[in-house]
Amino acid sequence: MAFFKESHNAPQWINKALGFRKTYSFVLWFLTCGALLGFTLARLMYLDEKTRDEGLSPGEQYWYRAGRYKIGITMHLACVLPAGILVPLQFIPQIRYKAILFHRINGYLNITLITVGIASALMIARRSFGGTMTTQVMVVITSFASLGAIVMAYVNIKRLQIDQHRKWMIRAMVWMSFIITMRIFMIIIAIIASNVGGYGNVWQCGEVEWVYTQSVGHESTGAADFALAYPSCIGASPETLVAVEASFPDSAVGAGAALRESFSAALVLAWVLHVFGTECYLALTKNETERLRQISYKRQLEKGFKHPGSAGLTSDRLGDSDWVAPNLEQGKARSTSQNEDEVLDDTQ
What percent of the chain is predicted at pLDDT more than 70? Answer: 88
Q: According to the model, what pLDDT value does residue 28 have?
A: 83
Of the candidate ranges 74-83, 107-116, 187-196, 333-342, the one whose mean pLDDT is the lowest: 333-342
Q: How many angstroms separate the Cα of 174 from the Cα of each of 179, 228, 273? A: 10, 47, 10
Can you state the angle between helices 178-196 and 35-42, rounded to 10 degrees?
70
Polymer length of the chain:
348
Tell whether the model's pLDDT for residue 137 goes beyond 70.
yes
Mind listing the pLDDT tens digit for each residue in 314-330? Answer: 888 888 777 777 776 65
Place 342 in a pLDDT band, splitting at 50, 70 and 90: very low
Mean of pLDDT values over 143-171 = 94
Give the per-residue pLDDT at 217.
Answer: 58
In tens, the pLDDT along 248-263 reads 888 889 999 999 999 9
Picking from 173, 244, 157, 156, the residue whose alpha carbon sits closest to that of residue 208 is 244
- In this predicted structure, the answer to whether residue 117 has a pLDDT above a threshold of 50 is yes
pTM: 0.85
Predicted pLDDT at 40: 95
Alpha carbons 280 and 283: distance in angstroms, whole number: 5
Per-residue pLDDT band for 345 (boundaries 50, 70, 90) equals very low
pLDDT value, residue 288: 87
Q: What is the pLDDT of residue 318?
A: 80
The DSSP-derived string for 253-286 is HHHHHHHHHHHHHHHHHHHHHHHHHHHHHHHHTH
User: From the CB of residue 96, how many other CB atoms can be counted at a distance below 10 Å?
Assistant: 18
The burial of 318, by beta-carbon neighbours within 10 Å (0-12 exposed, 13-18 middle, 19 or more buried), is given as exposed
Distance CA(124)–CA(116), nearest Å, equals 13
One-letter amino acid at 285 equals T
Mean predicted lDDT score pLDDT of the chain: 86
Task: Answer whether residue 77 shows pLDDT above 90.
Answer: yes
% residues pLDDT > 90 (the chain) = 58
Tell whether the model's pLDDT for residue 219 goes beyond 70: no
Question: What's the confidence (pLDDT) of residue 223?
Answer: 84
Output the pLDDT for position 287. Answer: 87
pLDDT at 338 over 60: no
Residue 216 confidence (pLDDT) above 70? no
Mean pLDDT of 201-219: 83
pLDDT for residue 341: 40
Nearest residue to 57 (alpha-carbon basis) of 239, 252, 210, 243 = 252
The pLDDT of 63-67, averaged and rounded, is: 90
d(CA 214, CA 97): 53
Q: Average pLDDT of 112-123?
A: 96
What is the DSSP code string of 315-342? HHHHSSPPP----HHHHHHHHTTS-TTS
pLDDT confidence bin for 102, thresholds 50/70/90: very high
DSSP labels for 74-117? HHHHHHHHHHHHHHHHHT-HHHHHH-HHHHHHHHHHHHHHHHHH
